[in-house]
Amino acid sequence: MSNTAEAIVAVEHVYKSVADSTGTLDILQDIHFTLGARETAAIVGASGSGKSTLLSIIAGLDVPTKGTVRLAGEDLFAVEEDDRAALRARQVGFVFQSFQLLGNLTALENVMLPLELAGRRDARRDAAEMLERVGLAQRLGHYPKLLSGGEQQRVALARAFVVQPRLLLADEPTGSLDFATGEQVMQLMFDLNRELGTTLLLVTHDRGIAQRCERRITIAAGRVAQDEATAAPLAA
């Protein structure tokens, strides 16, 4: 387990509660863990256990009721939303189950977008190179509707990794894919993770995917029920 001073991610006693007509619902309770550089971890647990809420808080997309998250030592919730978004853009990449590609942009333009927002001068070149690395050199001008599910998720991977984030967050990245395509996408994700030295944190229901990570963090009833090293090393 990583030392907080060396952590890329430090989740510090995070609570999340919401109120409705029936009272207060505690979604997360005293979540606390750290991840170091290049570490890979899977968040697992039953539906409704709080996994996706936790990932959203780590991304700074949701705000905890109590506690905080530090990315590379910077407190996400000690700054205004605009500064939090800027920190996210510098440090974090995202991969979603539903791909989240912009339908009016080509594959190349989707991958260029985060580079352009960051003011990178060689956005087109870097995006094209990353799409080539994920096997889509012949699909640069294709719009998402013309791509298969596996191809769309490869575009999403290219978009996430092209900024070379220190942290990659993935929420059920193979949930919309068939088994064989999902296996190919996960292998590509792990390959890019090792090659670029990114810390990887993913939410998954798939035990096989969780086993390929170095750590498995089990969430039950909004708490960390178990944080353990997996039996198998990271897949080659």
Instruction: Give the C-alpha separation, 80 to 38, whole Å.
Output: 28
Q: Which is nearest to 115 in space by CA: 106, 124, 107?
A: 124
What DSSP string describes 189-208? HHHHHHHHT-EEEEE-S-HH
Which residue blocks in 78-140 are alpha helix, DSSP H? 81-91, 107-117, 123-133
**What is the chain's pLDDT, residue by residue, as a tens digit (236 residues)?**
555 557 899 999 999 999 988 889 999 999 999 999 999 999 999 988 999 999 999 999 999 999 999 998 999 999 999 999 888 888 898 888 888 899 999 999 999 999 998 888 899 999 999 999 999 999 999 999 999 999 999 999 999 999 999 999 999 888 888 888 888 889 998 998 898 999 999 999 888 899 999 999 999 999 999 999 986 554 44
pLDDT at 128: 97
Instruction: Identify the burial level of 183 via C-beta atoms within 10 angstroms of its C-beta, where 0-12 means exposed, 13-18 middle and 19 or more buried.
Output: middle
Residue 42 in tokens? 């899977």
Residue 84 in tokens? 């939090």
Radius of gyration of the chain (CA): 18
Instruction: Dump pLDDT digits (tens) for 112-126.
Output: 999 998 888 899 999
Question: Terminal CA-to-CA distance of the chain, rounded, Å?
Answer: 22
Residue 124 in tokens? 């087109």
Pairing of strands 167-171, 23-35: unpaired
DSSP structure class, residue 136: -
Threshold 0.75, pTM exceeds? yes
Count how many Cα atoms sit within 13 Å of the Cα of residue 1 in the half-sphere of its side chain: 11
Identify the structural domains of the chain with CATH numbers, from first to last.
4-229 (3.40.50.300)
